[in-house]
Amino acid sequence: MKKSYQLSGYTLHVIPSKKFKNITMSLKLENILTKENVTKRSLLAFMLTGGTEKYPSTQALSSHLEDLYGMNFGTNLATKGLGQVLNISSVCINEAFLPYQEDLLKQQIKLFSDVLYHPNVQNGKFDEQTFNIKKKELRERLIVQNDDKFMYGLNQLFKNMGEGGFLSISNNGYIEELDKITNEELYQYLLQSIKEDVKNLYVVGDVDESIVDVFKENLSFSTNPSLIPVVTNFNSTKTKVLEIIERQDITQSKLNLGYVVDCNFLDETTYAMTVFNAIFGGFSQSRLFKVVREKHSLCYYISSSYGAFSGIMTVNAGIEGSDYQKAKQLIDEELKNIQNGDFSDDEINLAKLMLKSSLTKTKDEPMSLITLAYNRDLTGKQESNEEYLDKILKVTREEIIAASKKVHLDTIFLLTGSDK
> Are 166 and 285 in the same domain?
no
Question: What pLDDT is attached to residue 356?
Answer: 97
> Are 296 and 411 in the same domain?
yes
> Are 252 and 376 in the same domain?
yes
> Are 189 and 310 in the same domain?
no
In a domain, 231, yes or no: no
> Are 47 and 178 in the same domain?
yes
> Are 339 and 391 in the same domain?
yes
Rounded Cα distance between 211 and 114, Å, is 19
Most distant CA atoms of the chain, gap in Å? 69
In a domain, 223, yes or no: no
Q: Which of 168, 186, 218 lies at the terminal end of a domain, its last residue?
A: 218
Query: Alpha helix locations (H) across 162-318?
Result: 175-178, 183-196, 211-218, 270-277, 287-288
Where on the phi/psi map is residue 414: left (φ > 0), alpha (ψ -120 to 50), or beta?
Answer: beta
In a domain, 232, yes or no: no
> Are 121 and 204 in the same domain?
yes
> Are 53 and 160 in the same domain?
yes
Number of neighbouring beta carbons within 10 Å of residue 102: 14
> Are 287 and 161 in the same domain?
no
Q: What are the φ and ψ backbone dihedral angles of 412, each rounded to 5 degrees?
A: -120, 130
> Are 262 and 201 in the same domain?
no
Rounded Cα distance between 202 and 369, Å, is 10
In a domain, 58, yes or no: yes
Taking each helix axis from N to C end, the angle separating 128-147 and 149-161, rounded to the nearest 10 degrees, works out to: 90
Do 278 and 354 form a contact (C-beta atoms < 8 A)? yes
Rounded Cα distance between 34 and 312, Å, is 19
Rounded Cα distance between 365 and 372, Å, is 11
In a domain, 229, yes or no: no
Overall number of domains in the chain: 2
Nearest 5°: the CA angle 58, 63, 69 is: 130
pLDDT digit string (tens) for the chain, length 420 residues? 899 999 999 999 999 999 999 999 999 999 999 999 999 999 999 999 999 999 999 999 999 999 999 999 999 999 999 999 999 999 999 998 898 878 899 999 999 999 999 999 999 999 999 999 999 999 999 999 999 999 999 999 999 999 999 999 999 999 999 999 999 999 999 999 999 999 999 999 999 999 999 999 999 999 878 888 999 999 999 999 999 999 999 999 999 999 999 999 999 999 999 999 999 999 999 999 999 999 999 999 999 999 999 999 999 999 999 999 999 999 999 999 999 999 999 999 999 999 999 999 999 999 999 999 999 999 998 899 999 999 999 999 999 999 999 999 999 999 999 864
In a domain, 279, yes or no: yes
Rounded Cα distance between 228 and 82, Å, is 9
Rounded Cα distance between 136 and 57, Å, is 15
> Are 26 and 142 in the same domain?
yes
Rounded Cα distance between 289 and 337, Å, is 15
Q: Which of 202, 218, 234 lies at the terminal end of a domain, its last residue?
A: 218
In a domain, 224, yes or no: no
In a domain, 302, yes or no: yes
Range of the domain at 357: 242-417
Do 301 and 293 form a contact (C-beta atoms < 8 A)? yes
Q: Which of 184, 218, 252 lies at the terminal end of a domain, its last residue?
A: 218
Question: What pLDDT is attached to residue 38?
Answer: 98
Q: What are the φ and ψ backbone dihedral angles of 162, each rounded to 5 degrees?
A: -75, -15
> Are 185 and 65 in the same domain?
yes
Rounded Cα distance between 264 and 302, Å, is 23
Q: What is the CATH number of the domain that holds 37?
A: 3.30.830.10
Number of neighbouring beta carbons within 10 Å of residue 248: 12
